[in-house]
Chains A and B, each alone.
Chain A
Amino acid sequence: MTTGTRAVADELQEILLNHEKDRTQLLPILVDINKYFGHIDSNAIIEVSRYTGVPIGEIHGVITFYSFLGQKKRGRFVIRLCRTISCDIAGKDQIVRVLEKELGIHFGETTDDGVFSLEYTNCIGMCDNPPAMLINDKVYGGLTPERVVDILDSFKLSEYQDMFGYGGVE
């Protein structure tokens, strides 16, 4: 999917119109586009530039600065495992192995069906309940290999997928 097609372009314009035409709105706009489409492609960058007047280079710079914004298409559910020290010593590596085995992909990759992406994140403030991960906006702490399998299973159910309304179009 690219934001260049007409239907998608309309959706993109709708997101833009929710914000003022001002460079201070750059980050909120990018967050919304990222949330809606799962990523921000070059066509979207150009549209944002047209709308806010911020040059494409600067927008590209902002996107590469924030790891939660991305130019590459991600899955509908982005799993971000914390790799900072508390989670690391609480058994992060074990969780890594389970996630990779269950989904059949490595960190930094997306499943072929476009449902799951695996990424690392730095501290998400869950040091009291490690190891922890995020699935989209939802936080999961105190992970064990068994729990991870249960969580993934619950996400694989289609009705649960619908509950997370936003996300990419397959």
Chain B
Amino acid sequence: MSEMIPVQIDDITCEVEKGTTILQACKCAGLRVPTLCHHPDLEVAGICRICVVEVEGMSGLQAACAFPIRQPIKVRTNSPRVRRARRVNLDLILSEHYGDCYTCTRNGTCELQDLAREYGVDRYRYPSTTAPKFRIDRSTAIVRDQNKCISCKRCIRTCIDLQQVSALETANRGHDVLIQTAFNKPISEVVCINCGQCINRCPTGALRSNMPNELIWQAIDDPEKHVIIQTAPSPRAAIGEEFGYEPGTSVTKKLNAALRRVGFDSIFDTNFAADLTIMEEGTELLTRLKKALVDGDSSVKVPMFTSCSPGWVKYIEHYYPEYLDHLSTCKSPQQMFGAILKTYYAKKIGVNPDKMVVVALMPCVAKKFECNRPEMTDSGGKDVDFGLTTREMAVLIKESGIHLKDLPDEDFDHPLGLGSGAGLIFGATGGVMEAAIRSVYEIVTGRPVPFKGLDVTPIRGMEGIRDAALTIENPLPEYQWLDGITLKVAVAHGTANAKLLMERLKEGTLDYHFIEVMACPGGCLGGGGQPIPTSPEIRAARARAIYAEDHELVLRKSHENPEINQLYAEFLGEPLGHLSHKLLHTHYTPRGRFFLEGI
């Protein structure tokens, strides 16, 4: 137990642990101190000076977020001096911000807008920025609008500290500070993995995702087009937040009803494709293990990494291109589904795939980049036409005049709308691994995994890297070669944690067989396309919602999904078969960590 220190904040006296910041102490005391550059996921910066407070005995005002309490202090959070200083700081920030609120995607969720309202800003006290100064930088996934940037550096701290990608940096000094990419190149040309975590942490609209909403409306309004939506597991556990539900409320069935009313022709469950991924990836894992462990084939690389997260895929393409052979060749569920929809399903319902538009509701910004990869065209055209984030879908629903809370519960369409609980938990970090273990263990031994209620608890949770070991005993005859072998698996979320694993792989001290990596902290449920704000508590709530929904399902193992088995029987043949190989697997591009002409 560390030392407790008495503090007095305004008229409240309390005791806090030594090292607690004034901001945290205020929260404990039930007082709200405004913040702007502070974010619970990020390192303390103390840049914006909105959280200034008076500390008795100190001449200057102190930033509450960056002041650790080491001795008894008296703090005033609401003195005239504090109010005046906060207002001046806010006015100065506003004078540099191109506040074109009507046309801003963050209208209503902008933290600067909130502060302006809170502080009764009714005019600009300093000259305001009336015209944009910077060109808008657009990639397929991310849009940067520096005119709205207030240099709080949350994106920098996200990109450099949290994700360790370093696509964004601070250029220049003092008043001239700009948030830039390396050499001020377009975002599409630098080492950016499109995870969109910066978007989730931007307090204003300086960073946003590339919205395809208009194009989706065009497709929906075109009577010739058959528009299909597939919904990933994470958005359903989070989109409720956009409609006034508490974080951690699953709205799967209401969302289906909403999508039908928006005008989508078919509504399918990406969990189905997640189950398909498990079939393919599980088989790939067993094949790799046999070749590596029994046949001694050194061209087969173990550990195998998952390939569901497009942010992670681009990360390894940039930073560890020499290890691309370790990446599973399986496409992500989104892309597998697109390829199946435009082949098998198009034929089944007699629709020309060219007239089919596949939209994927994803928690993810990188999915936009993924569906535009040139190699993702195995169905003949683009396998998936649009990646749509949870936030963007909320706009689409609101624009349709739909009140999510008032809708009835509705189901997915079939035959591709049945997903297992194993597919559902793909949304949480560790979920792909758990789903794989549930199926692979049972396929190999004929028995369910030896965990209570099928919950593989060692790989659940929010720790950066988690691992588990599972010894195979008495396998079925065809898997005798696995008898007595202890399968070691690991799970990492956030590319900073992935980097730790990759460095160990480089050193040769990584002895796992199978590793799941998700680029975003918390896995997909903490994705860059999820509702804003996001915080450790909100991510934990979303995870609880996903695991709770998994428990309610009867079907909880991918290989028992009857619609998957039907798909193999009617169309694909077998996992890793010829057609699977053509439609469901892909290859990767070594990109390197420098994006410069002539290099």
Q: Report A's interface with B, CB cutoff 8 A.
A: 42-43, 46, 49, 55-58, 60-61, 64-67
A151 to B167, CA, bound (A): 45
Select A64's contact among B167, B168, B171, beta carbons within 8 Å: B171
Contact A46 B166 (CB under 8 A): no
Given pairs A57-B169, A58-B160, A58-B166, 11 additional interface contacts (CB within 8 A): A42-B183, A55-B166, A55-B169, A55-B182, A56-B182, A58-B169, A60-B169, A64-B172, A65-B173, A66-B173, A67-B173
Closest Cβ–Cβ distance, residue B473 to chain A (whole Å): 43
Closest Cβ–Cβ distance, residue A70 to chain B (whole Å): 12
Q: Report B's interface with A, CB cutoff 8 A.
A: 160, 165-173, 180-183, 190-191, 593-594, 596, 599
What residues of B have a CB within 8 angstroms of the CB of A65 in the complex?
A: 170, 172-173
Closest Cβ–Cβ distance, residue A77 to chain B (whole Å): 24
Contact A46 B596 (CB under 8 A): yes
Contact A57 B596 (CB under 8 A): no
What residues of A have a CB within 8 angstroms of the CB of B172 in the complex?
A: 64-65
CB closest chain-B residue, reference A55 = B166
Contact A60 B182 (CB under 8 A): yes
Contact B171 A61 (CB under 8 A): yes
A-B contact pairs, 6 of them (CB 8 A): A55-B182, A56-B182, A56-B191, A57-B168, A61-B169, A61-B180
How would you classify the secondary structure of chain B's contact residues: helix, strand, loop or mixed? loop
A150 to B160, CA, bound (A): 50
CB closest chain-B residue, reference A54 = B166
How would you classify the secondary structure of chain A's contact residues: helix, strand, loop or mixed? helix
Contact A60 B599 (CB under 8 A): no
A66 to B174, CA, bound (A): 11
Contact A57 B190 (CB under 8 A): yes
A67 to B171, CA, bound (A): 12
Contact B594 A64 (CB under 8 A): no
A83 to B167, CA, bound (A): 35
Closest Cβ–Cβ distance, residue B519 to chain A (whole Å): 16
Known: A42-B596, A46-B594, A49-B594. A57 touches B182 (CB 8 A): yes
Closest Cβ–Cβ distance, residue B45 to chain A (whole Å): 15
A64 to B179, CA, bound (A): 12
A60 to B172, CA, bound (A): 9
Contact A64 B166 (CB under 8 A): no
Contact A46 B173 (CB under 8 A): no
User: Which among B160, B167, B169, B183 has the greatest number of chain A C-beta atoms within 10 A?
Assistant: B169
A56 to B160, CA, bound (A): 12
Closest Cβ–Cβ distance, residue B317 to chain A (whole Å): 15
Select B181's contact among A46, A57, A67, beta carbons within 8 Å: A57
User: Which among A42, A64, A66 has the greatest number of chain B C-beta atoms within 10 A?
Assistant: A64
What residues of A have a CB within 8 angstroms of the CB of B594 in the complex?
A: 46, 49, 56
Contact A46 B599 (CB under 8 A): yes
Contact B173 A56 (CB under 8 A): no
A43 to B160, CA, bound (A): 22
A64 to B165, CA, bound (A): 20
User: Which among A42, A57, A61, A67 has the greatest number of chain B C-beta atoms within 10 A?
Assistant: A57
